[in-house]
Amino acid sequence: MRKFIFPMFALIISASVLVALPKNAPIGTTAKEPPTYLQMNVAENTSTEIFSSLGEHFNIFDISTEYNREYIYEIFNAHGELVKREGALRRPPVIVYLDEFLLSIEFGVGTGTWMTQYYHITNDIFSETFESPIAIKYNKIAYVLVYENAYKLIVRDIFDKSIYYERFNLKLSPVANPMDALINIEHLYDNRLRVTYLSGEDYMEKSSIFQL
């Protein structure tokens, strides 16, 4: 069974409510509702199930119609000001608190792949978007990519790779998606990362400890 530092997909807590905010509210406002025109679009189709997932620093709204599945999300800073609104999206994002200061904004894109961006609430900064991150702790993120025709484990600072960035060799078994070869990832204090994975043509389980 694979175990990762945090769950890749979390349930969205939903409720059958829809609220409206001043139309075309600008970034920087403290309103926490979707634009009025979105409410009108949804209201035109009474058969559509409407949900609203509300957090202190984020909203997710289903704005689907009978013909299209669409979603919108909003992010708010520590002062309650709107700093980001994205939509209409074909899949709902998964937004969770990783701690009291850090939000994870995740999108599944199929074939076992997801894209994730992070937002630091108090510092009011967004990370770049990462493909299928596998571990996050101690302000560092880990993910796997193909570099010079070989799998590499990338460990870097979440928001600024000039602070920390390292590449490590990771001899995974030949698989279509590298996530299929990963079994377990865990931090050993703040300076070591242990990765358990399938290695070689015979798919043998192996563990490696990387010094960060």
Report in angstroms the alpha-carbon separations of 144 from 10, 168, 170: 21, 9, 8
User: Is the predicted pLDDT of residue 130 greater than 50, yes or no?
Assistant: yes
* pLDDT, position 161: 94
Per-residue pLDDT tens over the stretch 90-116: 888 899 898 889 999 998 877 778 899
Q: How confident is the model at residue 24 (pLDDT cuts 50, 70, 90)?
A: very low
Share of the chain above pLDDT 90, in %: 24
Is the CB of residue 92 less than 8 Å from the CB of residue 12? Answer: yes
User: CA geometry: angle at 55 spanning 82 and 100, to 5°?
Assistant: 95
* Maximum separation of any 2 CA atoms in the chain, in Å: 60
Choose between 13 and 54: higher pLDDT: 54
Domain ranges of the chain: 1-133, 134-212
Tokens coding 56 = 């202190």
Rounded CA-CA distance 86/169 in Å is 36
Question: In the 3-class helix/strand/coil scheme, how is the chain assigned residue by residue?
Answer: CCECCCCCCCCCCCCCCCCCECCCCCCCCCCCCCEHHHHHHHHCCCCCCCCEEEECCEEEEECCCCCCCCEEEEEECCCCCEEEEEEEECCCCEEEECCCCEEEEEEEEECCEEEEEEEECCCCEECCCEECCCEEECCEEEEEEEECCEEEEEEEECCCCCCCEEEEECCCCCCCCHHHHEEEEEEECCCEEEEEEEECCCCEEEEEEEEC
Of the candidate ranges 3-7, 95-99, 147-151, 165-169, the one whose mean pLDDT is the lowest: 3-7
Structure confidence at residue 127 as a pLDDT band (50, 70, 90): very high
Instruction: Average the pLDDT over 165-170 and give the result.
Output: 89
pLDDT, average across residues 55-69 = 86
Q: What average pLDDT score do residues 183-205 get?
A: 85
What average pLDDT does the segment 59-67 reach?
87
Name the band, by pLDDT with cuts 50, 70 and 90, for residue 53: low
Task: Categorize the per-residue pLDDT at 54 as very low, low, confident or very high, splitting at 50, 70 and 90.
Answer: low
For 16, the token pair is 């059958």
